[in-house]
């Protein structure tokens, strides 16, 4: 859509009506125009974020312009600090402020159980259920040949080393999305861990097939964890 430009269409010789450019002109044919190069650059940067189009980016930029200088500086500084100082937990690979995250360093957590998830969004989703009190292991993704992601691109080896090194670990819960890629990753992890004399379970299928874990409601996700089943009972592989 091109802001600041309106097109007129005449329908059957009747009264002319106003129509937006996107109604009949493809995006490739339109050129977005801005009154300020600084505004344009800010919109372009915001629109690079996932799920943010140019119109939403413009609204966000205009919102920031209406804020006082201190608020804008706090916002920008928080992003810079995040990028420069955030680290990954050396044990579970979750995003952390210290070498060992708050979950791994807590004595209140059950160190005998590890819940394997795709990324930090799944950790947050499971923590919000209040039904799980063990530790986590963040893979950093799932196996997806179509996207060029293989086992070596994930923290699978670190998980295996962690399971071998600790005498406390009694169960590994596979809590990945119920997609084809998630199931493939579950199967690969089962093959890697099944010889370690550790119970390997998978969350119950209260999560609909094809659903991402982070979008499940807290009650459903909580029940799926509580009613988890042994992995070898869910497959004939």
Residue 138 reports pLDDT greater than 80: yes
What CATH number does domain 95-233 carry, 3.30.300.10, 3.30.300.210, 3.40.50.20, 3.40.1360.10?
3.40.1360.10
Assign a CATH topology to domain 20-84.
Answer: Helicase, Ruva Protein; domain 3 (1.10.8)
Calculate mean pLDDT across residues 87-101. 95
Calculate mean pLDDT across residues 169-190. 93
Query: Contact, 202 vs 186, CB < 8 A?
Result: yes
For residue 170, what are the contacts with CB-CB under 8 A and spacing of at least 6? 112, 113, 198, 199
Task: List the domain boundaries for the chain.
Answer: 20-84, 95-233
> Which of 153, 131, 135, 133 minimizes the C-alpha distance to 143?
153
Share of the chain above pLDDT 70, in %: 78
Share of the chain above pLDDT 90, in %: 65
Segment 19-64, tens digit of pLDDT: 443 333 234 434 467 889 999 999 999 999 999 999 999 999 999 9
The confidence band for 215, taking pLDDT boundaries of 50, 70 and 90, is: low
């Amino acid at each position: 859509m091109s802001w600041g430009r309106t097109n007129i269409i005449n329908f059957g010789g009747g009264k002319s009506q106003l129509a937006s450019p996107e109604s009949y002109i493809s995006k490739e044919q339109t050129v977005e125009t801005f009154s300020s190069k600084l505004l344009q650059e800010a919109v372009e940067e915001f629109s690079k974020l996932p799920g943010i189009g140019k119109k939403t980016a413009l609204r966000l930029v205009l919102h920031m312009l209406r804020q006082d200088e201190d608020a804008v500086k706090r916002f920008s500084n928080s992003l810079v600090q995040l990028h420069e100082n955030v680290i990954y937990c050396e044990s579970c690979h979750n995003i952390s402020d210290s070498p060992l995250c708050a979950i791994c360093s807590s004595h209140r957590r059950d160190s005998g159980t590890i819940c394997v998830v795709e990324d930090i969004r799944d950790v947050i989703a499971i923590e919000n259920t209040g039904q799980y009190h063990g530790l986590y292991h963040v893979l950093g993704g799932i196996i997806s040949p179509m996207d060029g992601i293989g086992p070596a691109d994930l923290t699978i080896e670190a998980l295996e080393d962690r399971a071998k090194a600790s005498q406390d670990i009694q169960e590994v819960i596979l809590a990945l999305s119920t997609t084809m890629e998630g199931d493939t990753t579950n199967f690969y992890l089962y093959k890697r861990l099944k010889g370690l004399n550790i119970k390997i379970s998978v969350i119950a299928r209260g999560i609909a097939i094809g659903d991402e874990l982070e979008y499940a409601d807290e009650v459903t996700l909580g029940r799926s964890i509580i009613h988890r089943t042994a992995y070898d009972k869910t497959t004939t592989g």
